[in-house]
Structure 1
Amino acid sequence: MLLPQYPDSPTPPPAYRHAPADPAPIRRAGPSISVSTGAVVALITGGVVLTALLAAVAVSAISVAVAAVVLRSLLREHHRR
């Protein structure tokens, strides 16, 4: 907590006041990364293939769930007769 300085204060003012200097700008010299066109094409192709596989798994799971519901319904009707 900073206390206000009054002219009749018994404490003398500080002899030296610190003036912060402007910091030097930081220059980062990182490795330059060059991405080839082939790598970009491979990445996009891999993404498309993985998306297609995920969609195929989702459609298969939905079909199995629908088939299970239909079979359960048919078996329930068969047992009631």
Structure 2
Amino acid sequence: MLLPKYPDNPTPPPAHTHAPTDPAPVQRSLPSVSIDHKTIAALVVGGVVLTALLAAVAVTAISVAVAAVVLRSMLRDQRR
């Protein structure tokens, strides 16, 4: 006579077993990059130059807008 494999447990054993298909990926680190003082200085100078250029463009745009408003009001006054 054959006895059940798990006599105390009424649920049947699972039909399949879960096995991981791939092992965990290997963690790779980025190569170390050395940053010297010259690189930092170049970045700071570049940032200052770009900021100054942006400020110059903004000031120019505001000046052109003000000049346009003044010319428009002068021409409007001349027509009357």
> TM over 0.5: same fold?
yes
* 1:6-54 Cα shifts (integer Å, max 9, x gaps): 82x6xx222775487xx76844243111111101100110001110110
Give the CA RMSD over aligned residues.
2.7
Match for 2:39: what amino acid?
A: A
Shift of the 18–69 alpha-carbon distance from structure 1 to 2, 3 Å rule, reads same
Hey, what's the Cα distance between the residues in 1 that align with 2:16 and 2:70? 88
Alignment correspondent of 1:77: 77
Question: Stretches of 4+ moved more than 2 A in 1?
Answer: 14-20, 23-27
TM-score normalised over the length of structure 1: 0.69
Hey, what's the Cα distance between the residues in 1 that align with 2:75 and 2:24? 79
Alignment correspondent of 1:33: 33
Equivalent residue pairs, number:
70
Shift of the 16–70 alpha-carbon distance from structure 1 to 2, 3 Å rule, reads closer
Shift of the 68–15 alpha-carbon distance from structure 1 to 2, 3 Å rule, reads closer
